[in-house]
Amino acid sequence: YQLQLGENLYNIGYVFTGLMESVGASRKVFEYMHRKPRIAYDGVHKPDLVQGRIAFEDVSFCYPTRPTATVLDRVSFEVNPGETVALVGPSGAGKSSVIALLEHFYESKNGRITLDDMEIENFDHKLFHQRVALVAQEPVLYDGTVRYNILYGCEEWADDDEMIRAAKLANIHDFIMETDKGYDTECGEKGVQMSGGQKQRIAIARALVRKPAVLILDEATSALDAESEHIIQEALAKCSVGRTVIVIAHRLSTVEKADRIVVINKGHVLQQGNHKALMQDPNGLYYSLVQRQLLQSQSSDKLADQGESH
Ligand code: ATP
């Protein structure tokens, strides 16, 4: 616990991070490009326009390896086109599983998951993943240039202008321009060293090049300094204009700005509403999550003050 507080000393605005039993140990949201869906589906629906309305209707789920353990139990929520919705809950609540189902890595046991009122399995696979883009918490960058990493899979139809536009929206353009070779800078293991936040912003740019109607983001739990926090928040604000955003949120700054927060615990949706509305209920899980986190950040601040005075 001490160690965790120490690590979080400079972490401004984080919220549910401290509640995770083992931060980073259970990152299961994967980028589409790194994983093949387990479920082969080859729907034919290929609309020209995707509005980005998402709905879960009574969705229940258990992992094939643990068929008796219910992970999601009749989960229902809706996300309207253009809305930003934050999924919040303690570790193991089922947030990543919701996203895994939406990305169709697994099939639900019961219920319906729809995009623009059409069940997701009816969509053309490639089109679906262009329109519903996922940014993992710890994205992997490929060996290759920044350009290669951002345009990956879209080289045929996206040009440098679109790449730069996406990088600007993701707040990573300035960083790229400060490197020796700009967009020709090498990434990956042998390339330029990047922080988790920078990698995630490259991955956001990669997603935005596809012009997704829905952006799914698994927010980094790692400690960020105030500046990185601000840069990411600003990127999120810019990216959310005109598109649906679903974020697994770990920071108070993110959930406060969300149009709606879906509070999940033990596979159930317990509460839904915006920050202000949910804080009206002192008996609700959301209220206690925020209170616990505020207490934790106060003790972090105290430790930081003590550190400075020595
Ligand atoms: P965290 O914030 O720690 O990432 P979470 O809210 O995203 O947690 P999930 O990862 O969705 O929660 O996990 C929900 C439940 O499903 C947990 O009990 C977890 O142990 C279980 N689970 C997750 N992934 C798998 C898997 N691949 N196989 C079997 N069980 C799994």
- Asked whether the predicted pLDDT for residue 201 surpasses 80, the reply is yes
What's the rounded Cα separation, in Å, for the pair 283 and 124? 44
Identify the pLDDT of residue 308. Answer: 58
Identify the pLDDT of residue 4. Answer: 34
Residue-wise pLDDT tens digits, 95-135: 999 999 998 889 888 999 999 999 999 999 888 988 999 98
Identify the pLDDT of residue 304. Answer: 62
Structure tokens at 132: 């519903």
- Give residue 303 CA to ligand 1 midpoint distance, Å: 32
Q: Confirm whether the ipTM is greater than 0.95.
A: yes
Neighbours of 208 (CB within 10 A): 25
For the Cβ of 106 lying below 6 angstroms from any atom of ligand 1, the answer is: no
For the Cβ of 11 lying below 6 angstroms from any atom of ligand 1, the answer is: no
- Give residue 204 CA to ligand 1 midpoint distance, Å: 24
Mean pLDDT of 86-103: 93
Mean pLDDT of 233-242: 86
- Give residue 143 CA to ligand 1 midpoint distance, Å: 30
pTM for this one?
A: 0.84
For the Cβ of 71 lying below 6 angstroms from any atom of ligand 1, the answer is: yes
The length of the chain is 310
What's the rounded Cα separation, in Å, for the pair 196 and 220? 8
- 190: confidence class by pLDDT, cuts 50, 70, 90: confident
What's the rounded Cα separation, in Å, for the pair 34 and 275? 34
For the Cβ of 66 lying below 6 angstroms from any atom of ligand 1, the answer is: yes
- Best residue among 21, 56, 68, 71 to mutate for probing ligand 1's pocket (most ligand atoms within 8 Å of CB) is 71
Q: Which atom of ligand 1 is nearest to the CA of 267?
A: 14
For the Cβ of 90 lying below 6 angstroms from any atom of ligand 1, the answer is: no
In 63-222, the DSSP E strands lie at: 72-79, 84-88, 110-115, 118-119, 132-135, 144-145, 186-187, 214-218
Identify the pLDDT of residue 224. Answer: 66
Mean pLDDT of 204-221: 89
- Asked whether the predicted pLDDT for residue 20 surpasses 80, the reply is no
The DSSP code sequence of 151-197 is HTTTTTT--HHHHHHHHHHTT-HHHHHHSTTGGG-EESTTS----HH
**What's the number of CA atoms in the CB half-sphere (13 Å) around residue 133?**
20
Mean pLDDT of the chain: 82
User: What are residue 192's phi and psi, to 5 degrees?
Assistant: -65, 140
Rounded CA Rg of the chain = 19
For the Cβ of 70 lying below 6 angstroms from any atom of ligand 1, the answer is: no
- Give residue 102 CA to ligand 1 midpoint distance, Å: 15
Q: Are 105 and 30 in contact (CB under 8 A)?
A: yes
- Asked whether the predicted pLDDT for residue 19 surpasses 90, the reply is no
Neighbours of 45 (CB within 10 A): 15
Higher model confidence: residue 250 or residue 116? 116
Residue-wise pLDDT tens digits, 134-187: 988 888 888 899 999 999 888 778 899 999 999 999 999 999 999 989 999 998
Identify the pLDDT of residue 138. Answer: 80
Highest mean pLDDT among 27-36, 106-115, 244-253, 271-280: 271-280
- Asked whether the predicted pLDDT for residue 12 surpasses 80, the reply is no
